[in-house]
Amino acid sequence: MLNLTHPHRVVFISGIDTDVGKTYATGWYAKHLMQQGINVITQKFVQTGCQSISDDIVMHRKLQGIPLQAVDEKGITCPYIFKHPCSPHLAAQLEKETIKEEVIFQSTQQLLQHYDCVLLEGAGGLYVPYNNHRTIIDYVQQQQYPLILVTSGKLGSINHTLLSLHACAQRNIPILSVIYNKYLDHDDRISQDTPLFLANYVQQHFPETAFITMGHLA
């Protein structure tokens, strides 16, 4: 689980790939922290494929059971929103914009003035580019944020999970937990084997990292 005494008040939430359930996991985890009495807010690194308020932020609030907040309506929880549903670097190029790290960082700092903890959800996997030179894992490493990794039982998830874990280890990014999203399970044999394999692997190779099934967060 999240170590609430950790000196970092920002936790980055990434997935092993796109459409793995990290938005769902972020909202569920925020609700879990709220139930512990933690004043928590979620933030989206960058949103593509929508307009106005981030679709993922809207989902977070629904899962938390709270209305949209003033910081959502002001765009602080997601300073970059692009229409085209594609990689952030391309979505920004199509609108002749540049995603600036300092804008995202300042948004996080603004939120920390009013909240105890910020859960910062990424876009896609760790190596998704947000400009022609930088990927999301570069930003996480630069800010020295601890990370929660979301995985599932979809085909290929074991490979993607292990690659993500070792990529973080190589960059000294602490992994607080791996969250297994059981809601994407469709094959009983895979859904029984995958979390068991991953839990054992994490325990053996990343003993400081917790393995959590999303159904246990409520």
DSSP 43-89: EES-EES--SS-HHHHHHHHHHT-PPPHHHHTTTT-S-EESS-S-HH
Show the beta-strand stretches assigned E in 122-197.
147-152, 175-181
42 SS3 class: strand
Task: Give domain status of residue 1, yes or no.
Answer: no
Full residue range of the structural domain in which residue 82 is found? 10-216
Tell me if 5 is assigned to some domain: no
Is 3 among the domain residues?
A: no
- Nearest Cα to Cα of residue 178 among 217, 200, 149: 149
Report which DSSP code applies to 129: B
Mean pLDDT across the chain: 92
11-21 confidence digits (pLDDT tens) = 999 999 988 89
Whether residue 30 is annotated as binding a ligand: the answer is no
- Is residue 184 over pLDDT 70? no
| Mean pLDDT calculated for residue range 197-202 | 97
74 is a domain residue: yes
**Has residue 192 been placed in a domain?**
yes
pLDDT digits (tens, 9 = 90+) for 39-72: 999 999 999 999 889 999 999 999 999 999 999 9
Is 2 part of a structural domain of the chain? no
What is the Cα–Cα distance from 199 to 192, expressed in whole angstroms? Answer: 12
6 pLDDT more than 50 = no
How many structural domains are present in the chain?
1
Q: Are 128 and 122 in contact (CB under 8 A)?
A: yes
Q: What is the CATH number of the domain that holds 89?
A: 3.40.50.300
83 annotated as belonging to a binding site for a ligand: no
Residues 212, 177: contact at Cβ < 8 Å? yes
Q: Does residue 60 lie in a domain region?
A: yes
**22 carries a ligand binding annotation:** yes
pLDDT of residue 182: 82
Residue 82 placed within a domain: yes
Would you say 75 is a known binding-site residue? no
pTM over 0.95: no
Q: Which residues are catalytic?
A: 44
